[in-house]
Amino acid sequence: MLGNFQQSQLRIEIAASADAIHHSLLRPLQLEKWLVGQRFAPGMPEELHSGFQFTSWTGPVAIHHHVDVVKSNCLRLLLSGGIDGFHEWYWGEGWVQSRLEGISIFPLNLGQTLSLLSLRQFLAIQKS
């Protein structure tokens, strides 16, 4: 894989319950609504589960995901393709944290920041 090793860890406050955050991260129909610029392969399950594999695209770049861990407050995805690494999500009442490490030519911190802000805005709209 070409690119640089990058790591980023961000945590933000979100005016949403842990359940609302859980559903927004683990349900592909919800993911598609707030994950800006990403398309998912057809055949996604109602909710992500350990062992499931899928592909998303950011423009023409494919990123393959292997769902490694799913818990009530945690999601870990192993990534390959456009990003070789992993993405972990943790959440609770009113907060979400994202940890991303990998090799990529893309600025991972920028994409991660935009995703978290998009999630915050999506959940704020859902709440009202």
pLDDT digits (tens, 9 = 90+) for 17-58: 999 999 999 999 999 999 988 899 888 999 999 999 999 998
Task: Give the contacts of 103 (CB within 8 A, at least 6 positions apart).
Answer: 1, 3, 4, 5, 6, 83, 84, 85
Q: With cut-offs at 50, 70 and 90, classify the pLDDT of residue 127.
A: confident
pTM for this one? Answer: 0.93
Determine the pLDDT at residue 41.
Answer: 86
Determine the pLDDT at residue 28.
Answer: 94
- pLDDT > 70? residue 1: no
Determine the pLDDT at residue 36.
Answer: 81
Distance CA 63, CA 14 (A): 27
Task: Give the contacts of 14 (CB within 8 A, at least 6 positions apart).
Answer: 21, 94, 95, 96, 119, 120, 123, 124
pLDDT in tens, 66-102: 999 999 999 999 999 999 999 999 999 999 999 999 9
| Percentage of the chain exceeding pLDDT 70 | 99
Determine the pLDDT at residue 114.
Answer: 93
Using CB atoms within 10 Å of the CB of residue 100, give its burial: 0 to 12 exposed, 13 to 18 middle, 19+ buried.
buried
Determine the pLDDT at residue 58.
Answer: 87
Which residue's structure tokens are 């055949």? 43
Instruction: List, in order of start, the domains of the chain with CATH numbers.
Output: 16-127 (3.30.530.20)
- pLDDT > 90? residue 10: yes
